Amino acid sequence: MTRKTGAAAIAVAAALTLAACSSGSAGGDSGEGGDVELTMLAATYSDNTKVLWDEVIADFEAENPGVTVELEMQSWENINDVIRTRVQSNQAPDILSIDAFAGYVEDELLYSADEVLSEETIADFQESFVENASMNGKQYGFPLIASARALFVNDDVLAEAGVDAPPTTWDELYDAAKKITDSTDAYGYGLPLGSEEAQAEAGIFFFGAGGGYGDAETITVDTPENLEAAEFMKKLYDDGLTQPDAGATQRTPMLDQFIQGKFGMAMGLPPIVGMIEEKNPELNYSIHPIPTKDGEQVTLGVADHLMAFKNEGDKAEQVGAFLDFFYDAENYVKFVDTEGFLPVTKSGAEQTTNEDMAAFNELLPHAQFYPSTNPAWAATQAAMQGQIGLLATGSDPAEVLAGIQAEADNA
């Protein structure tokens, strides 16, 4: 995703000041010969993600001799399994970029924000994101980027199908998808229920029916509202209005196909705007609110996080110096604008130059979020990613939701 930060000089000064508190430099003396290596595991958002992190790391290392950052990238499809394995084998990274963090807080594995970040960095986070990143009155997640979802429409395909206006309700979505399927070469609606991000696609429909995933105390997957949403998704698939392999379709390749004109409609996120400009700038498309059961506006809001693990050897000082450096506005804004997400810092919001995000910013007041501070959310998300695609294999929606709920209850 993306980041925004304060002025570079301020960030570097903050990092060095923090380091100087105990050892005179961010290098510290916790590693052999005074050198410290930080390990970082990060999720990939685009082809730019690794390059952006590499640039931040190189600049940080130049300012902090003796501290190195070893970066490992993983796809969203794999990163949850990777981090679970690392934690179970006591090989957690020093810094992790992912979404859910509550389970690690319950196991007392993470530093809180006030243990690693400067006061300036903490104060720069948008308050709403701090609330979503806190448990038991303490902030453990360091907001990284924000995202909202919207309906991307291929305007030429809809016009060819005789659809007068983008859909605002499920009935209109079904009718538009049927007209597209019956009269054009495109699929009506892109339904990615593969493991990459099935919880997001399904969550959009859950919220659109008045349901959702619950809250910090209780996970609620198996509800009447969610069942109605699951039945609607299954109907879209069963009636041939989506791609034929919806249960195994991953989000990223599906959206690549939308960009190439193979879908009439699909749910998308902010970076798709930049992908269209890069891969098919001639695409005639528009962005609209998500169709819901009754037309009530809603969107899926997502805030991914950075977090810091308490590993052997006290690296809090060096971790904090690196994170303060990253959140400096100059570094963070470049990261978030290049990736095409919404900033989570006040300085980032002031300095962003990405005008294409206006449509998504308008939807944020209607955003609903994952219950990321519920310790059972990570298991729920994994179950959603692995099982909701069964809707496109003939499975009964009620049984699918019941199975996912059982895994959440046993987490």
176 or 14, which is more confident: 176
Co-location of 249 and 335 in the same domain: no
293-309 mean pLDDT: 94
83-87 mean pLDDT: 95
Residue 170 lies in a domain: yes
Residue 19 lies in a domain: yes
Co-location of 133 and 242 in the same domain: no
Find out whether 212 and 270 touch, Cβ atoms under 8 Å: no
Contacts of 25 (CB under 8 A, 6+ apart): 16, 19, 64, 65, 66
Tens-digit pLDDT profile for residues 329-342: 999 999 999 998 88
Residue 22 confidence (pLDDT) above 90: no
Co-location of 177 and 259 in the same domain: yes
Tens-digit pLDDT profile for residues 148-183: 899 999 999 999 999 999 999 999 999 999 999 999
Residue 12 confidence (pLDDT) above 50: no
- Percentage of the chain beyond pLDDT 70 is 92
Contacts of 409 (CB under 8 A, 6+ apart): 219, 376
Alpha carbons 411 and 409: distance in angstroms, whole number? 6
Number of structural domains, the chain? Answer: 2
Residue 1 lies in a domain: no
Residue 81 lies in a domain: yes
Co-location of 234 and 380 in the same domain: yes
pLDDT band with cut points at 50, 70 and 90 for residue 5: very low
Co-location of 216 and 254 in the same domain: yes
Domain end among 322, 344, 361: 361
Domain range enclosing 163:
149-301+369-409
Find out whether 173 and 167 touch, Cβ atoms under 8 Å: yes
Co-location of 288 and 376 in the same domain: yes
Domain end among 322, 342, 361: 361
249-266 mean pLDDT: 97
259-266 mean pLDDT: 98
pLDDT band with cut points at 50, 70 and 90 for residue 27: low
Lowest mean pLDDT among 4-8, 85-89, 260-264, 346-350: 4-8
Residue 3 lies in a domain: no
Contacts of 312 (CB under 8 A, 6+ apart): none
Residue 326 lies in a domain: yes
Q: Which SS3 state, helix, strand or coil, does residue 173 take?
A: helix
Co-location of 91 and 159 in the same domain: no
Co-location of 217 and 308 in the same domain: no
Tens-digit pLDDT profile for residues 345-382: 999 988 988 887 878 878 877 888 899 888 899 899 99
Domain end among 344, 361, 378: 361
CATH number of the domain enclosing 286: 3.40.190.10
Alpha carbons 61 and 47: distance in angstroms, whole number? 23
Co-location of 278 and 324 in the same domain: no
Average pLDDT of every residue of the chain: 90
Residue 27 lies in a domain: yes
Q: Is the pTM of the predicted complex or chain greater than 0.75?
A: no
Secondary structure (DSSP) of 256-272? HHHHTT-EEEEEE-THH
Residue 377 lies in a domain: yes
Co-location of 38 and 81 in the same domain: yes
Co-location of 278 and 320 in the same domain: no
Predicted local distance difference test score (pLDDT) of residue 37: 97
Predicted local distance difference test score (pLDDT) of residue 298: 94
Co-location of 116 and 253 in the same domain: no
